[in-house]
Amino acid sequence: MDRMIEVDQLSVRFDRLDVVKRISFDVAKGAALGLVGESGSGKSTVLRALAGLNQSWSGAIRFEGNAVEPKRTKGFFRDVQMVFQDPYGSLHPRQTIERVLAEPLLVHGIGDVDARIARAMSEVALPLAMRYRYPHQLSGGQRQRVAIARALIAEPKVLLLDEPTSALDVSIQAEVLNLLADMRESKALTYIMVGHNLAAVAHLCDEIGVMQNGELVERLSAASLRDRRIGNSYTMRLRELSDDIDESFVTHDN
Amino acid sequence: MEINVQNLKVRFASPAGYVEAVKGVSFTLGREKLGIVGESGSGKSLTARSILKLLPKRACMTSDTLTFDGVDIQHADETAMRQIRGKRAGLIMQDPKYSLNPVMSIGAQIAETWRTHRGGGRMEAFEAAFDLLDQVKIRDPRRVAGAFPMELSGGMGQRAMIAMMLAPNPEILIADEATSALDVSVQAEILRLLENLVTTRGMALLLISHDLPLVSRFCDRVLVMYAGRVVEELKASDLARAQHPYTRGLLECLPSLARPCKRLKTMQRSDAWTA
């Protein structure tokens, strides 16, 4: 199968602290990998190194077979886009939605700005009336839709999602997860999603990587995780804790 | 100790007239674990804070009855409120990074609370602080007492926060999304700790959360709030059998490991819920 992303012996150090310790994994084209673990396990750091937001890493990162340097090319920043956790913090407070969405198009010299913005907004089901509003006039869910539209407008191949639904209400989380699943299907995107809610990550991703203390301790399919075909004790503990949280409803429903 | 809230309303003045954030909430709370759940903006935090009269200055609060163990909160002055806030009712907020004083050691903060409410000498207060940190299952209380908030993890910070709230031996703890910022494993520990403390000390607990499964597991009774109103009240263990379409909607849109599905259900809101 064609590989979209290959990570080989990736390490990230902050001062004398090894945050990510020689981890290797790959993601096939069109696949979705979820990275789970507790805070401090290094999952977001991996994502930021992939996105080019952190330059102090060692090892190899390849996108479509091409190794990338710590300093990325402009083309890279078009092909790989990121969606952050906090939609309140990731949109410029003084820019209208129109301006936010136009930025990637201007940066990458993509024409047809007007039509593309309208199309991007309708794809993420944002009313066109929102176009000239500011982020503070939007709800949290709408802001996250803007962030997703901004990531998609330059027609990337890879979307890096850092806890994209953790700051949202469960009702909004469902809408955003559905939207992300639809977009992946219609645009043949490759996803890496970082999250701490196993159920949400397993819903969107077919493969799960479990991180602990900067190491990738297990990689398994979402189906194995559901059925508890788990090899690692730490993964099992995470699974049990999520169990605790939603199993009661299942027994009642049936 | 009983809290009685009848027809509580909280309004904010805005250029377009009053905006009502809490629209007539009524409940009573005795020695039990009561959960309030709802989405952001449903008024659950404002409802809880009304009990302590800790509302933003612009807020205007009215009610038919609002009493804390017979004390009329609505007409109580600040002196009277200080006998309740902290002393008889503790408030634990979401993020210990913001609710702890960054330039005071943990031990000094807990000792300060102890002395404010119980008097006594410095040494005595510090000994009490070590004891409290020990009660919230901090392994090395003396080391943690000397640490500053930035040196602690989220879970440790939250334990320190709980220790501080326990100092005056309150009758009720109000936990406002107290575990939302924590990892699931830490969340479970903190909840177990709260549960133990509540049972052994015979305290009441008001738990505000957006996490329905958590509330269902942990509380005795749940109020479900939507747009400033309580739309449903049920036994926590019956949450899965909720009748109201809003509660059902909240439960059904949760992704589940046990029941994978291609698409998640989304909430179809109805105007009738706010009528």
Residue of A169, A171, A241 with shortest CB distance to B188:
A241
Chain-wide mean pLDDT for chain A? 90
Domain membership flag for residue B266: yes
In chain B, which residues have their Cβ closer than 8 Å to the Cβ of A196? 183-184
Give the containing element (helix H, strand E) for B68: strand B65-68
Residue of A171, A177, A247 with shortest CB distance to B249:
A171
Residue of A196, A238, A246 with shortest CB distance to B258:
A246
In chain A, which residues have their Cβ closer than 8 Å to the Cβ of B266? 171, 174-175, 178
Identify the domain containing residue B16 by its residue range.
1-78+218-275
Q: Which of A167, A95, A101, A172 is nearest to A135 (CA)?
A: A95
> What pLDDT is stored for residue A250 in this prediction?
47
- Does A69 touch chain B if contact means CB atoms closer than 8 Å? no
Domain membership flag for residue B23: yes
Beta bridge partners of A94: none
Beta bridge partners of A32: A191
Inter-chain contact A252–B240, Cβ cutoff 8 Å?
A: yes
For the ranges A99-108, B185-194, B236-245, the lowest mean pLDDT is seen at B185-194
Q: CA-to-CA distance for A28 and A218, rounded, in angstroms?
A: 18
Per-position pLDDT tens, chain A of length 254: 689 999 999 999 988 888 999 999 999 999 999 999 988 889 999 999 999 998 889 999 999 999 998 889 999 999 999 999 888 888 999 999 999 999 999 999 998 999 999 999 999 989 999 999 999 999 888 999 999 999 999 999 999 999 998 888 888 899 999 999 999 999 999 999 999 889 999 999 999 999 999 999 999 999 999 999 999 999 999 988 886 555 555 444 43
- Block residue for tokens 């902290």: B86
Q: What is the pLDDT of residues A47-69, one digit of tens each?
A: 999 999 988 899 999 999 999 98
Which 8-state DSSP code applies to residue B39?
A: -
Domain membership flag for residue B92: no
Inter-chain contact B254–A198, Cβ cutoff 8 Å?
A: no
Domain membership flag for residue B55: yes
For the ranges A188-202, B9-23, B254-268, the lowest mean pLDDT is seen at B254-268
Give the pairing type, strands A190-195 and B3-14.
Answer: unpaired
* Domains of chain A with bracketed CATH: 3-90+157-253 (3.40.50.300)
Domain membership flag for residue B53: yes
- Does B103 touch chain A if contact means CB atoms closer than 8 Å? no
Inter-chain contact A245–B249, Cβ cutoff 8 Å?
A: no
**Cβ within 8 Å of residue A129, ≥6 positions away:** none
**Counted domains in chain B:** 1
- Does A239 touch chain B if contact means CB atoms closer than 8 Å? yes
Inter-chain contact B267–A198, Cβ cutoff 8 Å?
A: no
- Does B150 touch chain A if contact means CB atoms closer than 8 Å? no
Domain membership flag for residue B29: yes
Identify the top-confidence range among B12-21, B126-135, B172-181: B126-135
Domain membership flag for residue B35: yes
Q: What is the pLDDT of residues A197-226, one digit of tens each?
A: 899 999 999 999 999 999 999 999 999 999
Cross-sheet strand order for the sheet of A66-67:
A17-28, A3-14, A57-63, A66-67
Residues 186-205 of A with CB under 8 A from B: 196-200, 202-203
What is the least distance, in Å, from the CA of B216 to any CA of chain A? 9
Inter-chain contact A248–B240, Cβ cutoff 8 Å?
A: yes
In chain B, which residues have their Cβ closer than 8 Å to the Cβ of A252? 240-241
Q: CA-to-CA distance for A65 and A60, rounded, in angstroms?
A: 11
Tell me the whole-structure pTM to 2 decimals: 0.87
What is the least distance, in Å, from the CA of B241 to any CA of chain A? 7
Q: Are A25 and A209 in contact (CB under 8 A)?
A: yes
Q: What are phi and psi of B12, to 5 degrees?
A: -125, 135
* CATH number of the domain encompassing residue B249: 3.40.50.300
> What pLDDT is stored for residue B94 in this prediction?
84
Inter-chain contact A174–B39, Cβ cutoff 8 Å?
A: no
In chain B, which residues have their Cβ closer than 8 Å to the Cβ of A197? 184, 255
What is the least distance, in Å, from the CA of B215 to any CA of chain A? 10
- Does B245 touch chain A if contact means CB atoms closer than 8 Å? no
Chain-wide mean pLDDT for chain B? 91
Give the pairing type, strands B204-209 and B65-68.
Answer: unpaired
In chain B, which residues have their Cβ closer than 8 Å to the Cβ of A226? 257-258, 260
Residue of B154, B213, B250 with shortest CB distance to A245:
B213
ipTM: 0.81
Cβ atoms < 10 Å from Cβ of B144:
25
> What pLDDT is stored for residue A254 in this prediction?
38
Q: What are phi and psi of A175, to 5 degrees?
A: -65, -45
What is the least distance, in Å, from the CA of A142 to any CA of chain B? 14
Residue contacts between A and B (CB atoms, under 8 Å): 102
Domain membership flag for residue B135: no
